[in-house]
Amino acid sequence: MLYISLIALLAWAVPAEAGGYDNPGFLTSHLVSGGPPKDGIPALTNPNFVDPERIAYLREDDLVMGLVFDGDVRAYPHNIGWWNEIINDQFTDRSVAVTLCPLTGTGLVFDATGADGMQIEFGVSGLLINSNLVMYDRRDGSTLYPQMIYTAINGGDLGAQLELLPVIETTWGMWKKMYPNTTVVEAGTGWERYAGERPVYTERSYENYPYISARLGDYRTSNDYLIFLPSTADIDPRFEIKDMVLGLCLGKDTKAYPFNAMPDGAVINDVIDAQNIAVVYAAESHTAIAYFSELGGRVLNFYAVEPEGNLPVEFVDVETGSRWNMLGSAIEGPLAGQQLKQVPSYNSMWFAWAAYWPDTNVWSGEGILDVPVLVDTAVEETPLRPQTFALGQNFPNPFNPETRIHYQLPADGFVRLVVYNSGGQVVRRLVDGVRRSGLHIARWNGLDEAGQAAASGTYIYRLEMPGEGLREIRSMSLVR
């Protein structure tokens, strides 16, 4: 039986339409008290950072949020966020608000640099929407920002959106592998605002997770333990309520990448709001990172390879054969030294993501390119040749307006890749000519041979090498 607190039952409201927050004022009717009053959960401001060996409250598998600006590497542990929820911090040329909502599992970082260059501080309002932290702006003491949509829902700044910054959420052990020179929040610092008003939390406090029920277990993993019902949408049954997803909001499109669905070591190629991205995932460290996959005006497509370094995910781009690590850095090949730009995104418990974004798209397995199966050959200009004929599932799927199809050829030869409608009629010839052996990417923009937009529906695409007697067929969906 799902446990819901009395407060949630009293505050239950009819689900409202959500999915776009251009006019977010309606969300004020969904505010509920989380229990503690305004500033009852004490946000920290400019805490000290120390070397890892100087702290004792973190285990290797505890989660942290990591930031790097101009070589300054800092870790913000979830352990701090459990108890303080907001850390207002400053780097040399910018201020940030590092936020964690324990009830939705969401860690987001915002630019908190004012127009005058001064630091903007945020506090914990004591209010929630969909179990999610609602911050308030300390400049006026009243403007409210629900963390997951980071948009003002009241006051003169109604509709203003904070700038979401990229962050890496991973385990403490993995973050130290990524950045051995990291520093980390020192317990008991950043409390000056509350001097003489309340006791400072010690390292011992941060060792203990606060949401453990003797009857229901650990809030983070128990699907029977939910303190507040979401009110902007019903609970979405597609996944368990506490399943973690990586959530992306690009333009008007949203997409969730469920941790339980992504294979360990996955490198996923995708398109969201016409922007090309790649998502990398390492299961053991609970690390999912999204990158823009366009570099220097060229879209790169990636496939995972066996890692050679100390990080668990490495990948190679089809276009140049360069090798990349999971931090988005090219470490070998023609693009060595180049860096992919990280997509601002965040992890979330499924129930909360689906409550704020009920029309979200969900990744369903598309966009993982097969590693070319290679054999030695005597051809000097092509020292390795793929051995497999393969047609991959298009990505994204369903799609609108464009999708990509990857295919692999075992030898040079004449190739056809044709799209058909459900009646078997040719809609578009994507490839009709000689191609070299190797891994290829074809694009379909949803237009037919006459340049007209194809209708919504299911389409068949067929790859064949007539001279080799090879053929493979798959289907895809166009949704206008």
Which backbone phi and psi does 217 adopt, to 5 degrees?
Answer: 90, -155
From residue 318, alpha-carbon distances to 263, 304, 365, 370 in Å are 20, 11, 19, 11
The boundaries of the domain holding residue 310 are 244-362
| pLDDT at position 439 | 83
Q: Which residues pair with 457 in a beta bridge?
A: 478
Stated as kind and residue range, the H or E segment containing 204 is helix 203-206
| pLDDT at position 441 | 87
Q: 6: how many CB neighbours lie within 10 A of its CB?
A: 7
Is 229 a member of any domain? no
Is 75 a member of any domain? yes
**Which tokens is 137 given?**
């702006």
* Domain shared by 211 and 299, yes or no: no
Is 386 a member of any domain? yes
* Domain shared by 208 and 294, yes or no: no
Is 100 a member of any domain? yes
Q: Which of 303, 331, 362 is the last residue of a domain?
A: 362
**SS3 label, residue 440:** strand
Question: ∠ at Cα 463 (461, 467), nearest 5°?
Answer: 150
Q: Is the sign of the CA dihedral 480, 398, 274, 160 positive or negative? A: positive
* Domain shared by 398 and 350, yes or no: no
| Whole-number Å distance between alpha carbons of 250 and 341 | 14
Q: Which of 218, 233, 252 is the last residue of a domain?
A: 218
Beta strand pairing status for 164-165 and 106-111? antiparallel
Is 314 a member of any domain? yes
**SS3 label, residue 317:** strand
* Domain shared by 184 and 290, yes or no: no
* Domain shared by 46 and 177, yes or no: yes
Q: Is the sign of the CA dihedral 431, 434, 436, 438 positive or negative? A: positive
Is 324 a member of any domain? yes
Which amino acid is residue 471, in one-letter code? R
Q: Which residue has the tokens 């990280």?
A: 342
* Domain shared by 200 and 324, yes or no: no
What global pTM score does this model have?
0.85
* Domain shared by 79 and 201, yes or no: yes
The CATH number linked to 320 is: 2.102.10.10
DSSP conformation class of 119: B
* Domain shared by 337 and 420, yes or no: no
The answer for residues whose C-beta is within 8 angstroms of residue 250's C-beta and 6 or more apart is: 272, 273, 275, 277, 343
* Domain shared by 382 and 408, yes or no: yes
What b/e readout covers 81-117, taking b as 16+ CB neighbours within 10 angstroms? bbbbbbbbbeeeeebbbbbbbbbbbbbbbbebbeeee
* Domain shared by 194 and 340, yes or no: no
Question: ∠ at Cα 141 (210, 116), nearest 5°?
Answer: 110
* Domain shared by 391 and 437, yes or no: yes
Which amino acid is residue 391, in one-letter code? L
| Whole-number Å distance between alpha carbons of 165 and 416 | 44
* Domain shared by 151 and 260, yes or no: no
Is 14 a member of any domain? yes
Q: Which of 184, 218, 252 is the last residue of a domain?
A: 218
Is 427 a member of any domain? yes
Sequential pLDDT tens for the chain (480 residues): 344 333 332 233 222 233 368 889 999 999 999 999 999 999 999 999 999 999 999 999 999 999 999 999 999 999 999 999 999 999 999 999 999 999 999 999 999 999 999 999 999 999 999 999 999 999 999 999 999 999 999 999 999 999 999 999 999 999 999 999 999 999 999 999 999 899 999 999 999 999 999 999 999 999 999 999 999 999 999 999 999 999 999 988 999 999 999 999 999 999 999 899 999 999 999 999 999 999 999 999 999 999 999 999 999 998 999 999 999 999 999 999 999 999 999 999 999 999 999 999 999 999 998 876 444 333 333 334 456 898 989 988 999 889 999 898 988 899 999 999 988 999 999 999 888 888 888 999 999 999 999 999 999 999 999 888 999 999 999 998
**SS3 label, residue 407:** strand
| pLDDT at position 387 | 65
Number of structural domains, the chain? 3
